Structure 1
Amino acid sequence: MGIMDSIGSEMKTRNFSIYGQWTGIIAIILCVAVGIANIFHLNLIIIFSVICLITGLVLIFLEIPFLLRICPTSPKFDTFMRKFHSLWGRAAFYGVASLVQWLSCIVQATSLIAAAILLMLAGMFYALAAIKGQQFVGSKTLGGQGVAQMIV
């Protein structure tokens, strides 16, 4: 069974937390990319691009729980990350991150809108999972449920 087969079987579970996690993975890539691309503006967009870049880096540790086990992190950072291990916590984090990127449109419409949309979509998936009472199911491809339980 390859990675694509594993991802395909996970998508068939109809668990919105899996959809949120994979949307979050795409958001990581997009946040880092548009954060770097927009950092060269000569106005307030620089602030929003740095926030987007930091959001992408924090999301790496949120969505890939294996990294919290292998990367040296501080106890403060670990405590901060534990706040977002519930579905509502993740939905709130993505919602706030999306709102910040939407606010960048006040200054200037840039590619940060794509990050705002994707972050909003991931937050909606996590909120739907919480509303439906679904349990968080971590992708086996990204470290699985066992690693996530060891961290919490």
Structure 2
Amino acid sequence: MGLMDELRSRNFSLYGQWGGIVSIILLIVLGAISVAGNIPFAIIGWIFAFILFFVEVPLCMKVCPTSPKFDTFVSHFENAYLRAALYLGMGVIMLLSNTVSTTILNLPAVILVMAGVCYLIAAVKQQPHASSKILGGTGVDNVV
């Protein structure tokens, strides 16, 4: 199954995962662009991107050496409700960057909120968790 099959699966946890991947990229790039004007939120964005990278890319947990404490922290987010809370919380925190100055960090904040909403929909619909095969996950073969 390829990316198009995953997009057609109507599994909102996959949509949330892809929203998370897009937000990771945006947090890193736009954080670097806005670091001069908004240092605290650029650093917070990089920290969020680091955490989301391990939450969303299953291959990283297998390849990268991490501590058991960090592994336990990341494993808590296998539940769609907790992932939704994580994303919505991170999105709200990034939206607070407007209190310091108007920044470009609103774009990843909106994507984080949208990914959180996708995970919330997946949780309410009781869809099984799936992660993209492209990123080292199980794909939708096991859940469809």
Per the TM alignment, residue 145 of structure 1 is displaced from its structure 2 partner at its CA by: 2.2
Identify which of 59, 73, 79 aligns with 1:66: 59
SS at match of 2:50: helix
Runs of 4+ more than 4 Å apart: none
Name the counterpart of 1:47: 40
Deviations 1:61-118 (A, max 9, x none): 1110111111000111111111111101111110110010111111111001001101
TM-score (norm 1): 0.88
Report the TM-score, using the length of structure 2 for normalisation: 0.92
How many Å separate the matches in 2 of 1:34 and 1:54?
Answer: 13
Q: Which runs of 5+ in 1 are unaligned?
A: 147-152
Structural RMSD (CA): 1.3
Q: What residue is the counterpart of 2:4 in the other structure? A: 8
Aligned residues: 139
Structure 2 residue identity aligned to 1:104: S
* Percent identity of paired positions between Structure 1 and Structure 2: 42
Q: Separation in 2 of the partners of 1:63 and 1:8?
A: 19
Aligned equivalents of 2:76, 2:21: Cα separation in 1: 19
**In 2: Cα distance, 1:84 partner to 1:48 partner:** 23
Deviations 1:112-148 (A, max 9, x none): 10011010010000000001111111111111228xx
Structure-to-structure mapping, 1:78-117, within 5 angstroms: 78-117=71-110
